[in-house]
Structure 1
Amino acid sequence: MAAEPQLDLGAIDRLVHEPARMGILSVLDGVAETDFLFLQRVLGLTKGNLSAHLAKLEAAGLVTARKAFVRNVPQTTLAITPAGREARVRHWAQLERVRDLGRPPG
């Protein structure tokens, strides 16, 4: 009898897998860039929560943040990096493999 296929759960990128961070990467992947407040509204996160997740993604090189003042009001513009786009795509492919393991053969 053939061995059941297995998934290496350790291979799943925990940084990307966290729901808020996956949401951030997914939204940013659909736009050239956006501002902090738009991302906050779309994802329904608090400012502090969004800031914490963005800091982790930025430290990993998955997003960039550009800070400026527009009419004396601070504005943060965010974008996904090529590495962030690749991490998001790779993560979805891993999730699809998990789904496929549950399907009956044939």
Structure 2
Amino acid sequence: MSTGPEHPRHRLDDLVHSPVRFSIMAALAGAETMDFKDLRDAIQVSDSVLSKQLSILEKAGYVQIRKSFVGKLPRTSASLSEAGTDAWRAHLQTLRDIAGG
């Protein structure tokens, strides 16, 4: 076993690395905020899957959830928090490091 520097994979964020959460973070990184339905359609998951994964990211402090009403209709939107943006950038850099870029 090598005694050199630690492999970059050890820096991957398990919360971000999950395919659905990775997709959520990627979509939110490209937008200031997204409505729940738009995000769901963009990453092609069910309401329940998106809701569960957003809750995990919100609890970690990576995503901010806003609930409001448009007329009588409820509207939920999500955005990356500052911590989420930092985690996203660090995760991408780690993937680049692993790929040798």
If the length of structure 2 is used for normalisation, what is the TM-score? 0.89
Q: Percent same amino acid at aligned positions?
A: 32
Name the CA distance, whole Å, in 2 between partners of 1:48 and 1:8. Answer: 33
1:1-106 correspondence to structure 2 within 5 Å = 7=7, 9-100=9-100
Structure 2 gaps of 5+ residues are none
User: Given that residues 8 and 97 in structure 2 are in contact (C-alpha distance below 8 angstroms), is that contact kept between their aligned partners in structure 1?
Assistant: no
- Which entry has the higher C-alpha Rg, 1 or 2? 1
5+ residue gaps, structure 1: none
Could you tell me how far apart the structure 2 residues matched to 1:8 and 1:33 are? 30
Deviation of the 1:11 alpha carbon: 2.6
User: Residues 66-99 of structure 1, C-alpha deviation per residue, up to 9 Å, x if partnerless?
Assistant: 1112121111011111111110110011111111
> In terms of mean alpha carbon deviation, does 64-73 or 36-45 score higher?
64-73
The alignment of Structure 1 onto Structure 2 pairs a total of residues equal to 100
- 1:32 is paired with a residue whose SS is coil
**Higher RCO (CA-CA < 8 Å; seq separation 6+):** 2
Distance 2:8 2:93 in 1: 13
CA deviation after TM superposition for structure 1 residue 39, in Å: 0.1
Deviation of residue 7 (structure 1)?
1.1
Amino acid at match of 1:33: T
Give the root-mean-square deviation of aligned CA atoms. Answer: 2.0
TM-score by length of 1: 0.85
